[in-house]
Structure 1
Amino acid sequence: MLRVSDVQVVTSRDVPLGGPRAMTVRRTLPQRARSLIGAWCFADHYGPDDVTRTGGMDVPPHPHTGLQTVSWLFSGEIEHRDTTGAHAMVRPGELNLMTGGSGVAHSEVSTPDSGVLHGVQLWTALPESARHAPRAFVHHVPDVLRLDGAVVRVLLGTLCGSTSPVPTHTPLLGAEVVLEPCAEVVLDVSPEFEHGVLVDEGPVVFGDAELARAELGYLAPGARQITLTNPGDRPARLMLLGGEPFGEPVVMWWNFVGRTHEEIAGYREEWEAGSERFGRVEGYRGPVQRLPAPPLPNARLKARMAPPSSGDPSAWG
């Protein structure tokens, strides 16, 4: 059984999603206390959002480099278009993974039939060996695993004997776990991985640390099992993220992942100039045809490294 001090608790901050019709999301990664969990470098959690009242999501074409986007919904529907030529719907229980690599652009728009929009948008940083790879898009419907006290869907990696066929460029785990009321489950995991639990509906007890809705609990490598408990009388839902510690420095700014300030500045300049690096998104019909990049900060962009993979809170900063 974990001690409370084994789990680092990261709270979310509210961030307006880019575009003329901004939607507020709750961001847990990156933050000063925790930049990465394995290669997972970004985690937005949003909704439930009544699209008929708020207008929902409308993010015009915007660029990415050096990452993969992982789109996962609990309810609602989002229309995705990108410069691989993909035109797909993001629906509950269906994974959409887009590889930015050397450059991609995409748009995200909730559909009129979305009803209540509710989900997560996650990014993984690509390692040096893959970060200049061609853009790509994969759609996958994970199997539904029914355990004693939980339902699990494995997006990426392996859990509960189920392995996702979706390729990743570093060892990763991504799964949705729904816990029945008052249930406790013990999951076998890789001791080489660090793990994060992002709570959508809670509370959820991760080891001995109770996590509220939109909180993320981090556990350093070393555990061969993790315990997840739902102390409430309603179902609880969480995203389980894991991976081997990402040993490369990462420079993140706006929608770009790179390695140096100069590289990021170059990506920005190319996007503003309409470079073919990112291609053209066809079929988007919004108020503006592309999202302009914000100005670069006056200070140089610095690389992020994962904080120490330690259960000692004094190491978390």
Structure 2
Amino acid sequence: MGDTKVEILTPRDVPLGGPRAMTVRRTLPQRARTLIGAWCFADHYGPDPVAASGGMDVAPHPHIGLQTVSWLFSGEIEHRDSLGSHAAVRPGEINLMTGGHGIAHSEVSTPDTAVLHGVQLWVALPDAHRDTPRAFAHHAPRPVRVDGAELRVFLGTLAGDTSPVETFTPLLGAELLLDPGATVTLAVDPEFEHGLLVDEGDLTLDGTALRPAELGYTAPGRAALTLVNTSSARARAVLLGGPPFGEEIVMWWNFIARTDAEIRQAREDWARGSDRFGEVTGYPGDRLPAPELPTTPLRPRRNAR
């Protein structure tokens, strides 16, 4: 039997790159926990009135060693990447981009978007696959009703529904909508650790209360998770999961590697316009410059024990 405690992770506010930076709530990574399964990054934003904030405008920027997962609750984002993908990110539809050895992309909220609201997630690629070729996938999961909840499974398997989107480690990603006062028990893989990121409403996870923007973490060993919506309004959360990753990673800017030298090489490749990342066409502006690296070597991150 695993640890029965639910660990509560609170976010910090972070400006999301570029001259018209919108603010996001970052729950992963943080000092207490770097990874949940292979999930290594979670930004939660909105509801953000675009007329006041300017919305999202992230110029072309690079990635290595990861997959990005975009999931919206409202609004629309235009995605362009160096693979040649030109896609819309819409509510209830996953867009997954594989960076592998190197990719670049831009993200811009569309002119018709009045309110932008969603999550941006990263998955660390395991060592055997972190130099895989760049790729892009899209999937619109069907809603699944379970007791007093509606689920959309965008990665992995939950409540009898399985996403066809390929990942390189076992993963779970799902949006959960709970009716007012609903209690829902979900069978889960006991080899997975899980994180429940609350978007709206008052929820308890296995008896522990979570507020909006908090993430409740559970260690491996649970065969089921019980969620209770204690409010008189609908509640929404995103459930993430996977087996403990088991590899130390080095994270800096938009890169995930294993050593300081790999990060420095990737920054140099981006700065000199190497073919490694390709070109993003159609974005009306310059690409993002890489920030300066620290003078001291970057150290691997690990979860606190």
Q: TM-score range by the shorter chain?
A: over 0.9
Other-structure match for 1:171: 170
Q: Which among 288, 291, 303 is matched to residue 291 of structure 1?
A: 288
Other-structure match for 1:313: none
Task: For residue 174 of structure 2, give the secondary structure of its aligned residue in structure 1.
Answer: strand
The number of residues matched between the two structures is: 305
Compute the RMSD of aligned alpha carbons: 1.3
Question: C-alpha distance in 2, partners of 1:34/1:65?
Answer: 21
Question: C-alpha distance in 2, partners of 1:202/1:306?
Answer: 28
Q: Deviations over 1:208-259 (max 9, x none)?
A: 1111010000000000000011000000000000001000110000000000
Instruction: Tell me if structure 1 keeps the 8 A contact 2:158–2:188.
Output: yes
Matched, 1:207 2:199: no
Report the CA distance between 1:48 and its aligned residue: 0.5
Question: C-alpha distance in 2, partners of 1:54/1:247?
Answer: 39
Instruction: Tell me if structure 2 keeps the 8 A contact 1:3–1:208.
Output: no
Other-structure match for 2:281: 282
Other-structure match for 1:91: 90
Q: Deviations over 1:26-65 (max 9, x none)?
A: 0000000011000000000000011122210000000000
Question: Aligned runs of 1:1-317 on 2, under 5 Å?
Answer: 6-286=5-285, 289-308=286-305
Instruction: Tell me if structure 2 keeps the 8 A contact 1:203–1:236.
Output: yes
Question: C-alpha distance in 2, partners of 1:66/1:260?
Answer: 12
Task: For residue 6 of structure 1, give the secondary structure of its aligned residue in structure 2.
Answer: coil
Question: C-alpha distance in 1, partners of 2:73/2:137?
Answer: 19
Matched letter for residue 240 of structure 2: L
Instruction: Tell me if structure 1 keeps the 8 A contact 2:73–2:91.
Output: yes
> Runs of 4+ in structure 1 displaced over 6 angstroms?
2-5
Matched letter for residue 298 of structure 1: T
Task: For residue 129 of structure 1, give the secondary structure of its aligned residue in structure 2.
Answer: helix
Question: C-alpha distance in 2, partners of 1:152/1:102?
Answer: 33
Matched letter for residue 300 of structure 1: P
Q: TM-score, normalised by structure 1?
A: 0.94
Report the CA distance between 1:4 and its aligned residue: 11
Instruction: Tell me if structure 2 keeps the 8 A contact 1:3–1:207.
Output: no
Instruction: Tell me if structure 2 keeps the 8 A contact 1:79–1:87.
Output: yes
Question: C-alpha distance in 2, partners of 1:167/1:22?
Answer: 31
Other-structure match for 1:312: none
Consecutive unaligned residues of structure 2, counting only runs of 5 or more, are none
